[in-house]
Structure 1
Amino acid sequence: MTASRITRLTLTHFRNYRAAVLTTSAERVVLVGANGAGKTNCLEAISFLSPGRGLRRATLDDVADNEGDGSWAVAAEVEGALGLATLGTGIDPPRADAATSRRCRIDREPVGSATAFGDHLRMVWLTPAMDGLFMGAASERRRFFDRLVLAIDSQHSGRVSALDRSLRSRNRLLEVRYPDAHWLDAIERETAELAVAVAAMRGQTAMRLAAMLDARGAASAFPSAKIMLDGWMESALLTEPATAVEDRYRTILREGRPRDAAAGRTLDGPHLTDLEVVYAPKAMPARDASTGEQKALLIGLVLAHAQLVSEMTGITPLLLLDEVVAHLDPSRRAALFEELAKLGAQVWMTGADPAAFAEIGSGAEIFTVESGRIRPQQ
């Protein structure tokens, strides 16, 4: 099993970091400092070394240092699935006559997109913004689950984006009073193909993650969960040929044109799938669990997912855990540190109170973050 690790991180004009360098060989990297010092910004920078928009889903312009020229860069020397490599991403100073585009490089050579980073690093993260996941909208849970899938299949976000574009094209065409039927047929054929590809990977991941959660069971200090996807297509693909499901969805789209035209959107498909989570120890929906139980459930889910990524890809993912230990009692905090050590992953953690990491054990390195500066704790 190959572990994803960062040995050197360089930030240039990223958020509140004008220029910062962090070098480490540790299994667990801890960033401590006051609120607003830049701890989460550092994790966000790392998250840009994976496909997508980072752990805050920020726009490219939003993460630039306010005092700079609008450009920013993140670079890391990594030990990953393909050995040693240098990954880099960022944007050039914005120009009025050109759209902002993100540049990605591996060993200083341009690559088409951040999807290529997945060959070197796999990444999983947990942030305070996810604490309301079980109470929030289905779209948030769907986006959360798609990130889990992305850690296994680095092409997944591209397919999800392509499906969204195809659905928008169909919706625009349905706005026309007398749309071209042949053109609609072509768009719906493309939509059905993409929908099945997205749903199939989601369904496979959900099935395997559910089995991993069952296997962890009572052996973990974090409660087990029962998970399932609330989407007919994901369920159908577990027992039916993809071609049959694709044909059925094309029929649904064709017959649903008047309804979808009136609604202004497509009312059936995997773009509406929800993730259902049950708090297993009490056999109740996660949304009905207490705040503490939901937090523990999320941690257990992310730990199980990290194990699944290792099994399915042969790459132990990098973990980014933002302010995870702050609300854990001492026994559960110790249990988390123990599970992270067993996982064999490099873990980056943040917290305001250094005392919360007193029991993290050997193999950890603690850095102090202050006003966009990072230095090893003495």
Structure 2
Amino acid sequence: MALTKISLQTFRNHVSSELAETAHFNLLVGENGAGKTNVLEALSLLSPGRGLRRASLAELAYRAQPDDEPAGFAIGASLIEQGQVSARLGTYTEPDRPTRRLVRINGAEAPASVLSEWLAISWLTPAMDGLFTDSAGARRRFVDRMALAVEPGHARNVTSLENALRERNRLLEDGGDARWLDAIEAQIAQHGAVVAQNRARLISLLSDELSALPPEPFARPILTYRPGGPTDVADLLAELARARPRDRAAGRALTGPHRDELEVVMALSGVPAASCSTGEQKAMLIAITLAHGVLASSGRPSVLLLDEVAAHLDPVRRAELFRRLGQGQAQVWMTGTELPPFAGIEGEAAIWRVSDGSLERL
């Protein structure tokens, strides 16, 4: 078990909601728009980043009326390790600082990046169904989220890399001093090499896990990491210096980890994932999620958030999904509009009925 005593205060349509006595499987059942996914989103914010919807902070706070000013929100949860509470994690905004997300761990302020050192959280949502046909940036974000499971400090390096790239772009545009460019490019090379190496390690570990899975009932994918430039610090630094005239003309850096790509093909057919059917793409996403769940649960406590996943699977795939999730260590949270698709785990799951932002334990 990973999380319990979860509280949501003025978050989305939840004025005040609590979830206690959680289990390995946790189900949120209710009509569309009731607030099920809002609970998953709240849990996803107990990790670095913008959560599973990538929403702005202003969108997250409850409003009694649509034109009301956001009043802030608060999310808290107790972390359970080996049957004991090991920490209280919380994230919130304040009414006078609605655009700044704050984090507390055991009551003490902490940077959001530290959350990944306590807990590994991953998710699969319907919005991710188009991942293989989406932009390379969307796939990089997907990889970076998963990379936190194997390297908790990955988020800090990604943020530092992005900030340094923006500063380099500004200096190139303004004709900045070469010494400043040298210093910024040194930061890009340092953080960029770590980011690239973490991504490559993650894909290697995922590939090992995926190779052990049977090709059915979930289509097994083959993953390939394509770096967008040198992954060695010295080589990346030299490339950035050499490419200054080209990058100045382009208005952006054309080489580096911000150009990395994840390539996916279906193992049985060799067809690129982007050209596969919607069902095959969904099956490959689930296979990646299950493989990542094994990695995420090998160290810190881990949580897997699955939004509306069971209803779109046939009975064979649904039973296999539940079987594999039951064997894993990650705490699982799932949503659905009705209970019958979850009949296979109903007897061992904690279940809440969600209605208009309120929760009723079943």
One fold, TM greater than 0.5?
yes
Which residue of structure 1 lines up, in the alignment, with residue 91 of structure 2?
A: 89
Which residue of structure 2 lines up, in the alignment, with residue 161 of structure 1?
A: 159
Q: Tell me the TM-score normalised to structure 1 length.
A: 0.90
Which residue of structure 2 lines up, in the alignment, with residue 23 of structure 1?
A: 20
Q: Given residue 176 of structure 1, which amino acid in structure 2 is its aligned partner?
A: D
Which residue of structure 2 lines up, in the alignment, with residue 221 of structure 1?
A: 217
- Paired with 2:74 and 2:219, the residues of 1 have a C-alpha distance of 39
Does the 8 Å contact 2:80/2:87 carry over to 1? Answer: yes
Percent identity (aligned): 45
Moved more, 357-366 or 46-55: 357-366
Give RMSD over aligned pairs: 1.8
- Paired with 1:194 and 1:299, the residues of 2 have a C-alpha distance of 31
- Paired with 1:30 and 1:39, the residues of 2 have a C-alpha distance of 9
Q: Report the 3-state secondary structure (helix = DSSP H, G, I; strand = E; otherwise coil) of the residue aligned with 1:151.
A: coil
Alignment of 1:73-222 (within 5 A): 73-80=74-81, 83-94=85-96, 100-107=99-106, 109-177=107-175, 179-218=176-215, 221-222=217-218
- Paired with 1:94 and 1:156, the residues of 2 have a C-alpha distance of 31
Q: Report the 3-state secondary structure (helix = DSSP H, G, I; strand = E; otherwise coil) of the residue aligned with 2:99.
A: coil
Which residue of structure 1 lines up, in the alignment, with residue 358 of structure 2?
A: 373
- Paired with 2:81 and 2:60, the residues of 1 have a C-alpha distance of 26
- Paired with 1:232 and 1:101, the residues of 2 have a C-alpha distance of 32
- Paired with 2:341 and 2:238, the residues of 1 have a C-alpha distance of 56
Gaps of 5+ in 1: 238-244
In structure 2, which of residues 268, 271, 292 is the aligned counterpart of residue 284 of structure 1? 271
- Paired with 1:144 and 1:61, the residues of 2 have a C-alpha distance of 23
Q: CA deviation at 1:221?
A: 3.0
In structure 1, which of residues 317, 323, 326 is the aligned counterpart of residue 311 of structure 2? 326
Q: Given residue 225 of structure 1, which amino acid in structure 2 is its aligned partner?
A: P
Which residue of structure 2 lines up, in the alignment, with residue 230 of structure 1?
A: 226
In structure 2, which of residues 291, 296, 321 is the aligned counterpart of residue 309 of structure 1? 296
Q: CA deviation at 1:316?
A: 4.8
Alignment of 1:2-81 (within 5 A): 5-67=2-64, 70-80=71-81
Q: CA deviation at 1:376?
A: 1.3
Which residue of structure 1 lines up, in the alignment, with residue 349 of structure 2?
A: 364
Q: Given residue 92 of structure 2, which amino acid in structure 1 is its aligned partner?
A: G
Gaps of 5+ in 2: none
Moved more, 123-132 or 19-28: 19-28
* Cα distance change on mapping 1:214 and 1:117 into 2, 3 Å: same
Q: CA deviation at 1:85?
A: 2.0
Q: Report the 3-state secondary structure (helix = DSSP H, G, I; strand = E; otherwise coil) of the residue aligned with 1:369.
A: strand
Q: CA deviation at 1:266?
A: 0.4
Q: Given residue 23 of structure 2, which amino acid in structure 1 is its aligned partner?
A: A
Q: Tell me the TM-score normalised to structure 2 length.
A: 0.94
Q: CA deviation at 1:327?
A: 0.9
Q: Given residue 222 of structure 1, which amino acid in structure 2 is its aligned partner?
A: F
Deviations 1:191-249 (A, max 9, x none): 1111101111111111111111112234x63221110111154xx65xxxxxxx22221
Does the 8 Å contact 1:60/1:100 carry over to 2? Answer: yes
Does the 8 Å contact 1:17/1:65 carry over to 2? Answer: yes
Does the 8 Å contact 2:148/2:155 carry over to 1? Answer: yes
- Paired with 1:165 and 1:266, the residues of 2 have a C-alpha distance of 13
Q: Given residue 306 of structure 2, which amino acid in structure 1 is its aligned partner?
A: L
Which residue of structure 2 lines up, in the alignment, with residue 273 of structure 1?
A: 260
Alignment of 1:233-252 (within 5 A): 233=229, 245-252=232-239
- Paired with 1:232 and 1:9, the residues of 2 have a C-alpha distance of 41
Q: Report the 3-state secondary structure (helix = DSSP H, G, I; strand = E; otherwise coil) of the residue aligned with 1:205.
A: helix
Deviations 1:22-64 (A, max 9, x none): 1123210100111100000000001111111111111222100
In structure 2, which of residues 216, 238, 241 is the aligned counterpart of residue 254 of structure 1? 241
The number of equivalent residue pairs is: 357
* Cα distance change on mapping 1:52 and 1:80 into 2, 3 Å: farther
- Paired with 2:86 and 2:233, the residues of 1 have a C-alpha distance of 42
Does the 8 Å contact 2:226/2:260 carry over to 1? Answer: yes
